[in-house]
Each structure stands twice: as structure tokens, then as C-alpha cells.
Amino acid sequence: MERVIEFMHLATWLLLAAALGFAFYRLVKGPSLPDRVVALELLASLTVGVIAAYVLRSGKVVLLDVAMVLALTAFLAAVGFARYLEQGASQHD
């Protein structure tokens, strides 16, 4: 039982790491600025997941505040980037 749970935690970390890698690839490579903004938003969401996984292991519930602020600022960043794009910044990505 203990070993199964340990394995599941390890698998969770591995899946999150792979997801972070894919999202980071799109952030670097993404052909246009909106692609990068989408990748950035997914990275923030993935980081919330990483924090959740870490809190489950360590019991440091205080870190959930960080996840909350991260979710808030990711939304604000997305809206800000969208406004910047609509002002006609498509040439400068």
C-alpha cells in the first residue's frame, strides 16, 4: 500500500515534469505571440499543480496562498497581453 502511494507520487511528478517541458517548448518555439501567451498560461496552471503535489507530500498548507496568487496573476497577465496584442503589436513578437 505504502509503496503504491509512493509510486503514484513519483508518477505525478514525472507527468508534471513532462508537461512543463512540452509547455516550455511551445513558450520558446511558439511561432506567434498569442501562442506564447497560451503557453505561459498553461505554465502557470502547471505550477499550481506542482504546488498542489508538493503540499500533498510535505503538508505545508501555507504554500496554497502562493498558488492562489499565481492563478490570479496569470489571468491578469493574459488579459494584459491580449490588450497589448489588440493595439496592433503583431509585428513585434
Which residues of this protein are in contact with other proteins, per CB under 8 A? 1, 4-5, 8-9, 11-13, 15-16, 18-23, 25-26, 32-35, 37-39, 41-42, 45-46, 48-49, 52-53, 55-56, 59, 61, 64-65, 67-68, 71-72, 74-75, 78-79, 81-83, 85-86, 88-90
Q: How far is Cα 54 from Cα 51, in angstroms, rounded to an integer?
A: 5
Q: How far is Cα 55 from Cα 50, in angstroms, rounded to an integer?
A: 9
Q: Which residue has the cell 507520487?
A: 9
Closest contact distance (angstroms) between CB of 74 and other proteins is 8
Q: What's phi and psi for 59, nearest 5 deg?
A: 75, 10
Closest contact distance (angstroms) between CB of 53 and other proteins is 6
